[in-house]
Each structure stands twice: as C-alpha cells, then as structure tokens.
C-alpha cells in the first residue's frame, strides 16, 4: 500500500481538503487514491481505514486491545443509539466479543458479523414480542409511575422488557393525549395506545423485513465503529450514502437544500444546509434540527417511522416541488416550515443581511456555515467570506454604524473561508496556528491586508457554534476586534480530510470503483496565543444564556474526544486596545435581571447529563407539561429597533415570491431576546467609547 504524500496545513487549505465541522456536510474529494488488492472487500476496507489512520491521524491509538474495546463501545451505540432495543445482557455479550473484534480489525472477520447479527435479531424479536402482548392489554393512565429520561444511555434488564415497553407506550399516549386534549372526547385512550404501538412496531419492522439488509447494517455499524474509535470526528460513509448526500446537496438540480442524517436516538435530522437554497434562505433551520414529518397537498408522511433511505426518497422526489416541514429544535420547540425547491446555483450572494434601525443603525448577518466553492481548488475568493464582504459594503452604503454577526449553531465549514472572513475585520497578522502530524506548527495569516469594516461589532455564539466558527470568534476576541456574546462554544479544534477508501478495479467499467469515504482527523488548530479551545470551547466576553443553552451535546461529552493541549510557536499579532468588557458586563447584567428568559451566568454543570422523571399518570403528566410551559415566559417587551432588509434587496424582482419568508424572518429577528440584548450591548459600547 502506497503512503500518502506528506502535506502541510497550508497545502490542505489550498487544495480544499480541510473540513472543519461538528456535524453537517461531507466534502467528497478527488484526491489521490490509496490502493491495494485484497480478496475480501470488507477486509480491505477495515485494513485500509486502519493503515490510513496509522499514517495520518493526528493522534493514532496504537494499542490494539484498547482500540478493540473502543470499537465494542461504538458498536453498541451504532446498533442501538437510543438504548431501546438491546438489553444489559446483549451489551455484555457484545463486550465479550473482544477477541473476535481484534481479529476482524486485522481483516479476519471470524464470523463477527454473524454473531452480532444474531444478538441484534434476537433483541428485535424480543421487543416485537413484548409489543404484541401489550397491544391486547388494557392501558390505564391512573396509577402513579414514571419514565426515566437521561442523557446517558442506560440499558434495561431482559427480565424488565415488558414493563419498560409498557412505560414507553404510556409516555407516547400521554404525549398525544396532552397535545390533542381539546379533542380528547373523540379520541379514546385505546385508540391512542394502538397508534403508539403501531408506531413503535413500525420502527422495529423497518429493521427485520430484510435479513440481507440487516447484515449490511451490521457491516456498516462495524466500519463506522472502527473509524469512530480514533475520535468522534473520524468517520466512515458508504458510497451509497455519499451518492444520496450528493443528490440532496446538488447546486444544479432543484432541491430544498437539506441533507438528512440520523442522531444518536435514530431520529431523522437535518445533516446539512446548502448555501443559497430555500432551506438556507428561511433563516430558520440548523444542523441537528429534527424533522418530525413532511406534508404536501395530499398526504402527511411521519418521519418518526421512516428509514433514512426512505426519508431521502420523499425529500428528493422529483415530482414534488413544495413541502411543509414539521421541525423540532434542540430545545423541544416545534414549528411548520413551508419550502419550495430551488436551484441554489442561481444565487449570486448566499448571505442574507438585515438592518436593525434604531438609535444606532446596525447591520445583522446570520451565517449558518462557512461555505466555499468546493469545485475551486485555488485561493480564488468564491466562498462565504467574499459574499460577506460584499454584503458589508452594501450595508455601509446604507449607513450602518455597527454590526452583529450571528454564529449561533454554526457548525463550521471551510477553515479557509473562516480565515478570510476574519481578515475582513483584521488588518494583518496571524489568525490561528495549524498543526499536522510530524510537521512543525504553521502560522495561518490573513491573506489580504486591509479592513472592510472597522466599526463596533459583536459576534453571537452558543454551544452549537463549532470548529471554523470557533476559530473566527477566537481570532476576533484575541485581536480585541469584537465583543463575543452568548454561551461557551462547542469545543472542536480539530481538522479533517476526506479520502476515498476501498478502491477496487471493475472489469465491467474498466476503472477504479470506490467503496466509501473516510473522514480522518489529521490536524489541530490553535489560537494565536498557542492555546486551544478543544473540549473547552471559546468563552464569550458576555454571558447571555437561556434554557436552550443547557444542552449536553458538546465535544467534552463525546466519546474519545481528543484532549486539550497547547502549542509553542511565536506568532505575530498586534491586538487593538482592550475593549471595556467589565463595563459592558455590568450594564448587560442589570438588564438581564429584568428579563426572566435570559441569564448572565453559565453553569457548566447544567450541561452534564441529568436525569428527568416524567410522570406516567394523567394528572402528574399534565402538571409536568404545564410546569415546562410556565418556565418559558413570553415577554411583551418593545424592541428598540425596526427590522428591515437592505435597499438593494427591496428592489429585486423576486422579493415578492419570498415575501412571506422575509416577513417571518423579520418578525423572528425582532422578537429574538438575544439579538435585542446584543443591540443594547452595541449601544453601550459606542457610548463608552465616545466618552
């Protein structure tokens, strides 16, 4: 097997190989193939993944026994991400396959797949058997009980199968009963129970209808588990998955601009958003938002009981141009989003900006990802940084004095574009430090001298801001160029490349055929100070949090996340004078005392997985749900600004087509308490600087 050519951090950037992201797009490359001949396809894939990692992973795990233990842990999560199928006994059996896993990692499967399949089939049949019994038993919502919900996966004992599934049915019934309580007279508890059992059985039936499909599922679980054993961002994608993703993210065909994925619970979620697409322009979607259902003029399709493959089909159906998506955010809030398919390639500028017109005329830009033109392997400015620069110039023509850049839930994207974007606000100097294995640390500098905007600005981040967006925020913070607000960011400071694996010669096609793709962590990046935000995130200057910020999906909570370290490298950077952070914190905290929805302190313990006990009787459940609603107070506060689109957008001919979307977005911005607080912070900053 040939070795990969040694490359530096700059070479990776230049050839568009780096992909900094916590979740979302895959960048499929036409890079040099690593090729070897093996008689067994699966053995080749496993060996090739391990050899690539041993050559290029930034921190490869060399101990085979320890690695096998990690693979076993990943296998359990891949096979049953929500811990609803496997039992404690099943988990123990999988852990006991340690020696078989060791052999499989060397390309000698020793029937590992067949043993795993037997465990999985038995667990699914056990669940199906329990549901078949429970559907014929009466259901009572009167006696007191509770369902334990925790961020930690807890597997049940096989002897408790019946009681566990009975609790899950009661929970689904109570949830439906509460949501439709105004029409409860026409819906009996038994009807709701039948619907709940049918839904649960549907998910099970999806897994057992085809033994060959299940065998492929186990194979795929193992390949993904091997990749994920290195770190949470090294992962494997099959050729079929890549093809589906490519179609969903097409810039030449009409699409909604949404890629799909499955989270750790097996739910269908947004995996990526195409810049300039209908989904992007809605300003309402983020990676990891759950899709509960979709509906057209004739039908509603429930995504809670769909395979990923079927979900792709419904979204990508060429006969469907418009759909209404039922979306659930990470904080549990749901909303309906109507979208119409578009060709995103026609968009000349894929960034939407808005004007907050009040005492201080302020520009507002929301950026879900640092996108780039992936067809361009040069340093030509064809990505989001160039679009952002154009947008800021237009905003300046309309007289803005300040700027708010919203990177909340921006999961990353192109590192090169993040560097370019930071350079819009920094004259010159190092923006971050990159490190790849066996190479010296490399200074990554602003590529173009000069500043496009030098006014006061804030950058909004939260726990969903990851990777390239963290680099952008950290660079502006280190240069004292912007006030960073929100909650600590995700904490991902690693770099990935995507490489084809399993390349075999096809006689029929007379060419190499790729079996899949490996996203491999090959580097780390550091702040200009040499410190890293890996596993700790970027700390904002001003804490502004709400209930939605208390999530446990952070790098520090991910299995096998790389540790935090620092790098010794002298870097040239000249920060601006310190900003009056202490004064701004004082003024903001006084305002937040009057706002029941926001807080100026962040408790890291809130991000730890906490157990919730949900009552399973009708009175207790209603009390529980009403208490949740009371915790979310609606403010009738007057916004200090009016929101509008820039003049050049109002003059476009297609604004009427998207007028309804723009109206919803303007309303959302006008009511966003964190944006309002950032506007006040901008006003405070200007007043302090002027005096």
Residues 6+ apart with CB under 8 A from 270: 258, 259, 260, 261, 279, 285, 286, 287, 288, 289, 290, 291
For 534, counting Cβ atoms within 10 Å of its Cβ (0-12 exposed, 13-18 middle, 19+ buried), the class is buried
Strand partners, 629: none
Number of residues assigned to the chain: 691
Continuous segment of H or E residues that includes residue 518: strand 516-526
The secondary structure element, H or E, covering residue 338 is: strand 334-340
Q: Output the pTM of the full model.
A: 0.83
In 401-493, beta strands by DSSP E: 402-406, 412-413, 430-436, 442-445, 457-461, 483-486
Averages of pLDDT over each 10 residues, the chain, 691 residues = 49 50 38 40 84 93 90 94 91 96 83 92 92 89 84 87 92 80 64 81 69 85 95 90 62 76 76 81 84 84 77 82 88 83 58 92 93 55 86 95 95 90 94 93 86 97 94 98 97 91 61 79 96 96 85 86 93 92 97 88 63 88 81 64 84 48 79 96 96 84
Q: Which residues of 412-450 are buried (b: 16+ CB within 10 A; e: fewer)?
A: bbbbbbbbbbbbbbbebbbbbbbbbeeeebbbbbbeeee
CA distance 233 to 59: 13
Strand-pair partners of 335: 327
The pLDDT, as a whole number, for residue 576 is 96
CA distances from 182 to 19, 179, 628 (A): 49, 8, 19
Position 25 scores a pLDDT of 36
Residue tagged 């005492």 (tokens): 359
pLDDT of residue 516: 87
CB-neighbour burial class of residue 206 (10 A; exposed 0-12, middle 13-18, buried 19+)? middle
> Using an 8 Å Cβ cutoff, are 351 and 384 in contact?
yes
Report the pLDDT value the prediction gives residue 178, as an integer from 0 to 100. 80
Angle between helices 415-423 and 468-478 (to 10 degrees): 30
- Rounded to the nearest angstrom, the gap between the alpha carbon of residue 169 and the centroid of all alpha carbons in its chain is 29
Classified as helix, coil or strand, 79 is helix
pLDDT of residue 690: 92
Domains of the chain: 21-235 (no CATH), 252-343 (2.30.42.10), 353-495+523-597+632-690 (3.90.226.10)
Pair 480, 584: CB distance under 8 Å: no
* 8 Å CB contact between 365 and 390: no
Cβ distance 494 to 562 under 8 Å?
yes
Contact assessment for residue 273 and residue 287, using Cβ atoms and an 8 Å cutoff: yes
Give the span between the Cα atoms of 396 and 403, in whole angstroms: 10
Chain-centroid distance of CA 51 in Å reads 28
| DSSP codes joined into one string, 269-330 | EEEEE-TTSHHHHTT---TT-EEEEEE-SS-EEEGGG--HHHHHHHHH-TT--EEEEEEE-T
Per DSSP, the three-state class of 357 is strand
From the CB of residue 83, how many other CB atoms can be counted at a distance below 10 Å? 18
Q: Kindly give, in sequence order, each residue whose CB lies less than 8 Å from that of residue 507, ignoring residues fewer than 6 positions away.
A: none
Say which DSSP state 466 is in. -
Beta carbons of 280 and 350 less than 8 angstroms apart: yes
């Amino acid at each position: 097997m040939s070795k990969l050519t040694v490359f530096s951090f700059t070479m990776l950037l230049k050839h568009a190989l780096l992909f900094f992201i916590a979740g979302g797009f895959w960048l499929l490359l036409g890079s040099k193939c690593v090729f070897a001949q093996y008689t067994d396809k699966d053995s080749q894939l496993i060996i090739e993944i391990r050899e690539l990692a041993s050559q290029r992973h930034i921190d490869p795990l060399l101990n085979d026994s320890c690695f096998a233990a990690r693979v076993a842990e990943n296998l359990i999560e891949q096979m049953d991400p929500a811990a609803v199928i496997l039992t404690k006994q099943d988990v123990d059996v999988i852990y006991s396959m340690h020696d078989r896993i060791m052999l499989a990692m060397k390309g000698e499967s020793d029937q590992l797949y067949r043993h795993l399949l037997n465990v999985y089939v038995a667990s699914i049949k056990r669940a199906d058997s329990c549901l078949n019994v429970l559907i014929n038993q009466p259901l009572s919502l009167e006696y007191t009980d509770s369902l334990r919900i925790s961020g930690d996966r807890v597997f049940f004992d096989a002897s408790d199968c019946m009681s566990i599934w009975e609790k899950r049915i009661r929970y689904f019934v109570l949830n439906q009963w509460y949501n439709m309580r105004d029409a409860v007279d026409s819906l009996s508890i038994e009807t709701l129970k039948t619907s709940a059992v049918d839904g649960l059985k549907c998910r099970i039936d999806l897994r057992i209808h085809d033994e060959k499909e299940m065998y492929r599922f186990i194979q795929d679980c193992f390949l993904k588990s091997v990749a994920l054993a290195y770190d949470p961002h090294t992962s494997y994608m099959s050729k079929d998955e890549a093809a589906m993703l490519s179609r969903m993210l097409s810039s030449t065909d009409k699409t909604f601009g949404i890629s799909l994925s499955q989270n750790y619970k097996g739910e269908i979620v947004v995996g990526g958003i195409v810049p300039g697409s209908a989904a992007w322009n809605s300003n309402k979607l983020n990676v990891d938002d759950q899709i509960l259902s979709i509906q057209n003029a004739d039908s509603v399709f429930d995504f809670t009981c769909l395979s990923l493959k079927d979900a792709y089909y419904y979204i990508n159906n060429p006969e469907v141009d418009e759909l209404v998506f039922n979306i659930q955010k990470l904080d549990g809030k749901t909303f309906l989003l109507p979208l119409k398919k578009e060709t995103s390639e026609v968009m000349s500028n894929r960034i939407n900006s808005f004007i907050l017109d009040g005492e201080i005329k302020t520009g507002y830009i929301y950026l879900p990802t640092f996108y780039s033109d992936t067809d361009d392997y040069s340093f030509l400015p064809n990505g989001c940084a160039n679009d952002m620069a154009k947008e800021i110039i237009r905003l300046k023509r309309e007289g803005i004095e300040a700027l708010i850049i919203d990177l909340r839930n921006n999961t990353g994207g192109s590192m090169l574009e993040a560097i370019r974007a930071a350079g819009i606000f920094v004259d010159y100097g190092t923006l971050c430090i990159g490190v790849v294995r066996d190479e010296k640390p490399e200074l990554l500098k602003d590529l173009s001298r000069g500043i496009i905007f030098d006014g006061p600005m804030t950058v909004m981040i939260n726990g969903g801001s990851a990777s390239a967006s963290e680099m952008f925020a950290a660079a502006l913070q280190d240069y004292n160029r912007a006030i960073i607000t929100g909650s600590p960011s995700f904490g991902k400071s690693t770099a990935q490349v995507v490489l084809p694996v399993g390349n075999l010669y096809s006689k029929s096609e007379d060419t190499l055929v790729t079996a899949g793709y490996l996203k491999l962590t090959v580097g780390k990046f550091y702040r200009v100070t040499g410190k890293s935000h890996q596993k700790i995130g970027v700390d904002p200057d001003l804490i502004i949090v709400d209930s939605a910020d208390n999530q446990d999906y952070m790098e520090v909570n991910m299995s096998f996340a790389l540790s935090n370290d620092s790098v010794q490298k002298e870097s040239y950077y000249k920060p601006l004078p310190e900003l009056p952070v202490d004064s701004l914190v004082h003024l903001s905290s006084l305002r937040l005392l009057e706002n029941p929805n926001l807080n100026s302190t962040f408790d890291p313990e809130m991000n730890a997985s906490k157990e919730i006990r949900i009552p399973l009787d009708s009175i207790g459940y209603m009390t529980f749900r009403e208490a949740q609603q009371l915790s979310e107070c609606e403010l009738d506060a007057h916004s200090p600004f009016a929101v509008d689109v820039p003049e050049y957008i109002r003059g476009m001919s297609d604004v009427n087509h998207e007028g309804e979307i723009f109206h919803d977005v303007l309303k959302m911005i006008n009511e966003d308490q964190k944006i309002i607080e950032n506007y006040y912070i901008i006003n405070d900053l200007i007043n302090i600087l002027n005096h």
